Structure 1
Amino acid sequence: MSAIKKIGILGGTFDPPHVGHLRLATHFAKLLKLDALLLIPSGEPWQKGSGITSAEIRLQLTEAAGIDLARAFLYLKIPTQVGIDRIEIDRAGPSYAIDTVKALRERFGASASLNWLMGADSLVALPSWNSWEKLSQYVNFAVATRPHHDLKQAMSPEVHQFLNNHQTKHADALENSPAGLIYIDESLNVDLSSTELRKQLKSASRNSIASEQIPTHTLEIITNLGLYQ
């Protein structure tokens, strides 16, 4: 990975990973011409409360989703490498993004373009993240709008100011900048919430919903282990 210059980071609870995550990853891998994309399941997702599937099982589900993502990249001729990273699972204590980005910056060096991929709801929620104002020292943000989600209306004054200080209208600016920029992409409306999906998996229409919204290899593990029933 030493020659890699443009990295995408997609973190999350991944409980479970779903097609929305893969759509976001594919879109930004192509748009930002990423050399590599890391899927990083959180170890202890401190904001999610109890009832979270164990970290090792979520890692297994994410690895399975990574197989489908790599196949999609191959089919679409996107040359981005896909990696599943245990960094948050192996680190003791709550999973803070700030610790992850510091470690990744150390790993890839000062000149690599590190791009944290997220949905607009995560951008709005940034002030609840630990040391959130410091994140832009280590990464750029590539943000996808969410369906039926008015970003401007949902934004607090501090996020609005953060955006004023860091936003770029040009996606290619992220390729040449190691950190410090925010790009909002309005062409991709993607829902990244696993909460509704877990509810649907407990319903009578479980099978039809699952096959539409969950990557094939991930669904196989969910079925075999009898998860989310």
Structure 2
Amino acid sequence: MNTPKKIGILGGTFDPPHLGHLKLATHFAKALHLDTLLLIPSGEPWQKDTGITPAKIRLQLIEAAAVDLARAFLYLKIPTQIGVDRIEIDRAGPSYAIDTVKALRARFGAGVNLTWLMGADSLANLHSWNLWDQLLGFVNFAVASRPQHALSSHISPEITNLLEEHQCIDTDTLENSLFGRIYLDNSLSVDLSSTELRNQLKSASRSDIASEHIPSHALEIITNLGLYK
């Protein structure tokens, strides 16, 4: 049997995109041997507070960050192709993951491995997502640990049951499953938050914080537009 084509999905508000996003993308692109990685900025992030940066600007930021990510892939000899997908920005109404995964499955077909990449905090909050219990009918989940979000202390009964039914313990199983599997990766620790970063950027040490945590091409746009002050 041929190995199915593997597509990773990294969605988010990306307000702003930061090195934690790139670290997670790089790790799973390599670990899961992804053929393609889609970066999908949300159009109307329905679970976020008001005051989110306009989608058009966030799209610019993630496109800029993708340039830095592509350079990292080239340096690390990771052959994964990177694309920024406008699917949620172009779709009217709230950006629900279930609508996105249905559309991507229809686009790429039944024979492709689709894996949604996320941090442990997202998995812990999954039961608050719209039609969350249908997502694994279209995609796998690859979940990276977060230092402040240990699943053992934050997990709900719904997610406990989901893991009992769908968790796999190795990447090979995930790679060979077109959908319906959850892989928890404890080797990567991503400890950056866009919300915390926005708050930090309002401080006197803004320039140091920005250069340490934000990809250089995205930072150039943030500086030129005077964002997050």
User: TM-score, normalization: structure 2?
Assistant: 0.97
1:106 aligns with 2:106: yes
Which segments of 5 or more consecutive residues in structure 1 lack a partner in the other structure?
none
Which residue pairs with 2:117 in the alignment? 117
Q: Secondary structure in 2 aligned to 1:99? A: helix
1:174 partner letter: L
| Cα deviation, residue 191, structure 1 | 2.5
Question: Secondary structure of 1:186's partner?
Answer: strand
Q: Percent identity?
A: 73
Distance 1:129 1:147 in 2: 22
Q: Identify the residue that residue 88 of structure 2 maps to in structure 1.
A: 88
> Following TM superposition, by how much is the alpha carbon of 1:192 offset from its aligned partner in structure 2, in angstroms?
4.5
Q: Partner letter of residue 119 of structure 1?
A: G
The 5 Å alignment of 1:201-216 reads 201-216=201-216
CA contact (8 A) 1:7 1:38 kept: yes
Partner of residue 140, structure 1? 140
What letter matches 1:165 in structure 2?
A: E
Counterparts of 1:147-186 in structure 2, within 5 Å, are: 147-186=147-186
Contact 1:18 1:213 survives alignment (8 Å): yes
Partner of 1:197: 197
Number of the residue aligned with 2:22: 22
Q: For each residue in 1:78-128, what CA deviation from the matched residue of structure 2 results, as whole angstroms up to 9, or x when unmatched?
A: 000000000000000000000000000011110110000000000000010
Q: Which runs of 5+ in 2 are unaligned?
A: none
Question: Which residue in 2 is equivalent to 1:221?
Answer: 221
Please give the alpha-carbon distance, in whole angstroms, between the structure 2 residues aligned to 1:61 and 1:51.
17
The corresponding residue for 2:79 is 79
The Cα of 1:171 is off from its aligned counterpart by 1.0
Judge conservation of contact 1:14–1:41 (CA < 8 Å) in 2.
yes
Q: Retained in 1: the 8 A contact 2:148–2:191?
A: no
- Give the AA of the match of 2:29: A
Structure 2 contact 126–159 (Cα < 8 Å) conserved: yes
Work out the CA distance in 2 between the residues paired with 1:92 and 1:49. 19
Distance 1:15 1:117 in 2: 17
- 8 Å contact 2:17–2:61 — kept in the other structure? yes
Does 1:55 find its partner at 2:36? no
Could you list the runs of 4 or more consecutive aligned residues of structure 1 that deviate by over 2 angstroms after TM superposition? none
Which one-letter code corresponds to 2:148 in the other structure?
Answer: H
For 1:49 and 1:194, locate their aligned partners in 2 and report how far apart those are by CA, in whole Å.
Answer: 13
CA drift of 1:138 comes to 0.3
In structure 1, the partner of 2:44 is 44
More off after superposition, 184-193 vs 27-36: 184-193
1:49 CA displacement: 2.2
- In structure 2, give the amino acid aligned to 1:203: S
Partner AA of 1:30 in structure 2: K
Instruction: Give, in whole Å, the separation in 1 of the partners of 2:124 and 2:149.
Output: 11
Kindly indicate whether the alpha-carbon contact (under 8 Å) linking 1:6 and 1:33 is maintained by their aligned counterparts in 2: yes
CA contact 1:142–1:183 (8 Å) conserved in 2: yes
Q: Provide the C-alpha distance between the structure 2 equivalents of 1:11 and 1:191, rounded to a whole number of angstroms.
A: 17
Superposition RMSD in Å: 1.1
Task: State which drifts further: 190-199 or 84-93.
Answer: 190-199
> Does the 8 A contact of 1:119 with 1:192 survive in 2?
no
The answer to whether the Cα contact below 8 Å between 1:119 and 1:191 also exists between their aligned partners in 2 is: no
